[in-house]
């Protein structure tokens, strides 16, 4: 129950930290409340809709009623399992755009510009282009995290990309390489037909070392001696024990649970802590603030050709797909089916993409239910850089109680303008000749939703989280009163404590957040070990006419 480093959370960043610190000869204990990730519901890529709705694997958080979305309470899944949210996510791999990290650096996260983080992306990747091209000079080849591309054998994948080109957008062979902007193949954390989570990539190899151990338990609070973190108090059944850290405690418990644990430990807004009878150790008003997410809708089309995945949603065919995967790790079960994508700009004057498209050759909801009985396909779309900000607060001083989560979605007027643009630009793509042979009619938003008011009503009623919460322990300069951690990931105001997960993002990155979360674990490990990779000055592609042209 003692090690050099104690890490709370076996998620994307926590597993990475365990791997890198133990690799360097440090002793590590990882604390995880969730259980095993074994079994097809997690390991089979096509089964992705199952684990995030299962209490066994998901904390099951929901937002407070969202005032700008008709008072709806939205799902906010977080992984409660080995691998954390990398074991229940959609397995989509997106680094983010270079400008995202340059913004981080300008916002006070010195040393986190794109030149600084690109070497860490390369270090973590084992990239397989599958013969589809790409930017090999921008990618890593021998890291723990395998990244592949789906077979794209369904004709709709090629038609979607052709539609983007017909509409005047750029094509990109590798949105994780030099050029994010454009239409092209989507990448996934799948290897040899299996979900390649942070547990598979990082934690399991780390646990093979004698200096890395996993302990099951619910983290209750960080233990301090004077102002130095010396361990973590955990509950194991009815017993309460301490796990001691000789050097540092590292919180990697998610953008929801890391700020919760800081506040339970007396670090956070003083007024908030005193309200719950918690002694204030460090008054940090930024703890729990700056909560961000990606919100999205499905633009869905009924198909007039029987080429979609709809027949495989029937029980018998699903069983056959599952059996094929169990015995061979091949077939439809071996892909998340997100195999084509795009990043575009909503208007002229935006210098890098602010809209993402996930294309799927099926009309289906995240929970696996079908809104339409028949062949269909869809795009998940929404703005990348919402200006709305929310907050995570304690519900009580009881660590077993879920926190209050308020994203305050769509509270900024610009979000509505950007969201309408995303829907209208999607419709334009779906109206091209490239997709004309496949389109029958629009399912959602539907033929009546064309005015601004009608689209706003649709967004209000149907927008869902893309499950990308971040920002609640914002990284910034040490003298920034709203920063929670400094650029070395150290919690400001105490010693021996760091936070390293998506909660430290100053601003949300373009696309899905698993890759940037693993990046945080990679780079934080070097900060802890007192080393750094040399910067890579490679320049990303920016549309040369972005000031005057939308595409």
| Active-site annotation, residues | 468
**Residue among 276, 231, 270, 224 nearest 251 (CA):** 231
CA 256 – CA 9 distance, rounded (Å): 12
Number of helical H runs and strand E runs in the chain: 13, 25
Residues with Cβ within 8 Å of 150's Cβ and at least 6 positions away in sequence, in order, are 185, 186, 188, 190, 335, 336, 337, 338, 339
SS (H, E, C) 370-433: CCCCCCEEEEEEEECCCCCCEEEECCCCCCCCCCEEECCCCCCHHHHHHHHHHHHHHHHHHCCC
Distance of CA 483 to the CA centre of its chain: 21
Q: Cis link prior to 481 (omega < 30° from 0)?
A: no
Decide: helix, strand or coil at residue 497. Answer: strand
- From the number of C-beta atoms within 10 Å of its C-beta (0-12, 13-18, 19+), residue 528 rates as buried
CA 283 – CA 166 distance, rounded (Å): 55
Residues with Cβ within 8 Å of 451's Cβ and at least 6 positions away in sequence, in order, are none
Beta strands in 176-292 (DSSP E): 182-185, 187-188, 190-191, 194-195, 212-216, 218-225, 228-236, 239-251, 267-268, 282-283
CA 12 – CA 199 distance, rounded (Å): 8
CA 147 – CA 336 distance, rounded (Å): 13
Decide: helix, strand or coil at residue 78. Answer: coil
CA 119 – CA 534 distance, rounded (Å): 7
CA 235 – CA 237 distance, rounded (Å): 6
Widest CA span of the chain, in angstroms? Answer: 70
CA 387 – CA 384 distance, rounded (Å): 10
Region class of 528: left (phi > 0), else alpha (psi between -120 and 50), else beta:
alpha
- Residue that the structure tokens 């997100």 belong to: 338
Decide: helix, strand or coil at residue 93. Answer: coil
CA 473 – CA 504 distance, rounded (Å): 5
Residue 509 has a CB neighbour count (10 Å cut-off) of: 28
Residues with Cβ within 8 Å of 204's Cβ and at least 6 positions away in sequence, in order, are none
**Residue among 427, 488, 498 nearest 258 (CA):** 498
């Amino acid at each position: 129950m003692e090690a050099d480093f104690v890490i709370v959370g076996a998620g994307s960043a926590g597993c990475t930290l365990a791997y890198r610190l133990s690799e360097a000869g440090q002793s590590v204990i990882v604390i995880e409340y969730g259980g095993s990730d074994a079994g097809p519901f997690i390991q089979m890529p096509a089964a992705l809709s199952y684990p995030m709705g299962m209490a066994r694997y998901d904390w099951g958080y929901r937002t407070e009623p969202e005032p700008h979305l008709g008072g709806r309470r939205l799902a906010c899944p977080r992984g409660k399992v080995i691998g954390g949210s990398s074991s229940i996510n959609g397995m989509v791999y997106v680094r983010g755009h270079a400008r995202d990290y340059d913004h981080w650096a300008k916002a006070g996260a010195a040393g986190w510009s794109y030149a600084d983080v690109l070497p860490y992306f390369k270090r973590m990747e084992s990239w397989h282009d599958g013969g589809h091209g790409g930017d090999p000079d921008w990618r890593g080849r021998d890291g723990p995290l395998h990244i592949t591309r789906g077979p794209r054998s369904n004709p709709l994948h090629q038609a979607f990309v052709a539609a983007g080109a017909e509409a005047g957008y750029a094509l990109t062979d590798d949105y994780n390489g030099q050029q994010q902007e454009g239409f092209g193949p989507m990448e996934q954390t799948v290897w040899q037909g299996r979900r390649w989570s942070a547990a598979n990539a990082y934690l399991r190899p780390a646990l093979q070392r004698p200096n890395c151990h996993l302990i099951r338990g619910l983290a209750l609070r960080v233990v301090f001696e004077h102002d130095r973190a010396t361990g973590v108090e955990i509950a194991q059944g009815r017993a309460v024990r301490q796990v001691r850290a000789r050097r540092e405690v590292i919180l990697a418990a998610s953008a929801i649970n890391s700020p919760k644990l800081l506040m339970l430990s007396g670090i956070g807004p003083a007024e908030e802590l005193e309200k719950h009878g918690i002694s204030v150790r460090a008054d940090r008003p930024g703890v729990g603030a700056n909560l961000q997410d990606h919100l999205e809708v499905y633009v869905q089309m009924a198909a007039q050709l029987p080429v979609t995945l709809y027949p495989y949603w029937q029980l018998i065919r699903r069983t056959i797909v599952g059996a094929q995967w169990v015995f061979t790790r091949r077939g439809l079960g071996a892909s998340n089916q997100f195999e084509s994508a795009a990043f575009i700009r909503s208007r002229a004057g935006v210098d890098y993409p602010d809209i993402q498209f996930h294309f799927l050759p099926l009309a289906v909801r995240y929970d696996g239910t079908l809104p339409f009985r028949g062949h269909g396909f869809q795009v998940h779309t929404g703005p990348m850089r919402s200006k709305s900000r929310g907050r995570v607060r304690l519900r009580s001083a009881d660590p077993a109680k879920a926190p209050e989560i308020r994203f305050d979605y769509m509270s900024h007027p610009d979000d509505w303008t950007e969201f309408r643009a995303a829907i209208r630009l999607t419709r334009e793509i779906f109206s091209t000749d490239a997709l004309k042979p496949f389109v029958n009619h629009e399912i959602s938003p539907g033929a009546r939703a064309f005015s601004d008011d009608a689209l706003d009503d649709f967004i209000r009623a149907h927008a869902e989280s893309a499950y990308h919460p971040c920002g609640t322990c914002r990284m910034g300069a040490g003298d920034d009163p709203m920063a929670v951690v400094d650029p070395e990931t150290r919690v400001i105001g105490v010693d021996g404590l760091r936070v390293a997960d998506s909660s430290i993002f100053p601003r949300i990155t373009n696309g899905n957040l698993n890759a940037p979360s693993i990046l945080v674990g990679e780079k934080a490990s070097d900060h802890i070990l007192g080393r750094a990779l040399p910067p890579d000055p490679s320049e990303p592609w920016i549309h040369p006419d972005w000031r005057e042209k939308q595409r």
